[in-house]
Structure 1
Amino acid sequence: MFSHLRQSIRDTAQRFALGSVGALMTLVGLGFLSASALMLLLTVTDPMTASAIMGGAYLGIGLLMMVAARSSKSDHNRHHHREVQPKTDEMPPLAAAFMQGMAQGMAHRR
C-alpha cells in the first residue's frame, strides 16, 4: 500500500521538477528573444520607440492571456456550478437531522 503511495509521490515530484525546469528555461529563452528583438528594433528605430514597441507587445500579449484565462475560468465555473447545485425541493439529510436535533433541544428546554 505504501509503495504505491511512495511511487505516486515520486512521480508527482518528478513531474513538478521537470515542469519547473522547463518553465525556467522558457523564461530564459524569452529573455534572450526579447533582447534580440530589442537589438533588431534598435537598428531600425531609436531606443525610445524600440522600448515602446516591446512594451506594447508585452502588454498586448499579457492582456490577451488574462482575457483568455478569465473567459475559460468563468465558463468552467458556470458549467461546474450547474452540476453542483442541489435540488431545491428536498432538504439534504444532514440538514434535516440538524433541524430535527434543534427542534428536540428546544422542546426539551421547555
Structure 2
Amino acid sequence: MFARLRRSIRHAAQRFALGSVGALMALVGLGFLSASGLMLLLTLTDPITACAIMGGAYLGVGLLMMVAARGSGSDDPPAVPQNARQEAQELPPLAAAFMQGMAQGMAHQTHR
C-alpha cells in the first residue's frame, strides 16, 4: 500500500528534478543563442536597431506565451479516474485523502 505511494512520490520527484535541470539548461542555451543573435545583428545593423529587434522578439514571444497560458478559459476541474477513488476507499482516511489529492493533481497535469 505504502510502496506504491513511495514509488509515486519518487517518480514525481525524479520528474521534477529532470524538468528543473532541463529548464536550467534551456535557459543557458537561450542565453547563448541570444548573445549570438545579437552579435549577428550587430554585424548587419547598428547597435540600437539590433537591441530593438532583440527586445521586440522577446516581447512578442513573451506576449504569445502569456496568451497561451490563459488557455481556453475552462476552469472545470478534471474528473478523477474511478480506480483512484476505489483505491482511496481501501486506505486509512488520511492516506486516502492524500492519494485522492495526488490522483487529482496527476489528472490535472495530463489535461494541460
**TM-score between the two structures when normalised by the length of structure 1:** 0.66
Instruction: Give RMSD over aligned pairs.
Output: 1.7
2:17 is equivalent to residue 49 of structure 1: no
Question: What does 1:51-66 correspond to in 2, within 5 Å?
Answer: 51-66=51-66
2:15 is equivalent to residue 8 of structure 1: no
Q: 1:26 maps to which residue?
A: 26
Richer in helix (by share): 1
Instruction: State the identity as a percent.
Output: 76
Partners in 2 of 1:4 and 1:67 — Cα distance? 38
| 1:6 shift after superposition | 1.0
Cα distance per residue 1:31-88 (max 9 Å; x no partner): 1100000000000111111000000000011111111222x141x22xx28x9xxxxx
Bigger relative contact order (CA 8 A; separation at least 6): 2
| 1:3 shift after superposition | 1.3
Partners in 1 of 2:12 and 2:69 — Cα distance? 25
5+ residue gaps, structure 1, are: 84-110
5+ residue gaps, structure 2, are: 80-112
Give the structure with higher Rg (CA).
Answer: 1
**TM-score between the two structures when normalised by the length of structure 2:** 0.64
Number of residues of Structure 1 aligned to a counterpart in Structure 2: 78
